[in-house]
Structure 1
């Protein structure tokens, strides 16, 4: 199964699902897939679901930041949804909970 799937929703939202390990070996590809979809589809919102992420390193966090920037560039709202407890702690430690809509 792919580490990322990107699906437009009829309400204009781009629904992104991340899975498995989002680390330096996959981060460039995952970032490109999502950012390309944001630029091409210009959604009103980007929602990144992380319930199936087993591991996230600093390059994976960087992917989320880049996707957030891409969303902002097309005036789309950005939200991270359902992070695992481990990922939530990593995002809290990085100081990104509020930026990712996870307060």
Structure 2
């Protein structure tokens, strides 16, 4: 880390070393002037907002596994020929459809 423009790997440093490099007293925190300087040079402490995804993309993203698709198709075929109990067992016992709907509702 001889290059002053090189950023340190903060997660590799001890708290004492990190505080020393930042020129801050851990028990006291930043002075008002240090905080103002940090705000000028680094900016606000904000996380970037993730791009939102459509609820439909989230829903269909739950069905990426081939096995889940086979079970859903099997349940649909069983229901279409009148075997409602078999369709319920395929979808209910594996809990795929219910679990995916539950995940989807919490993500959207």
On whether the aligned pair clears a TM of 0.5, the verdict is no
Structure number with higher strand proportion: 1
Please give the TM-score of this superposition, normalised by the length of structure 2.
Answer: 0.24
| Rg comparison, structure with higher value | 2
Query: Which protein, 1 or 2, shows the higher relative CO under an 8 Å CA cutoff with sep ≥ 6?
Result: 1
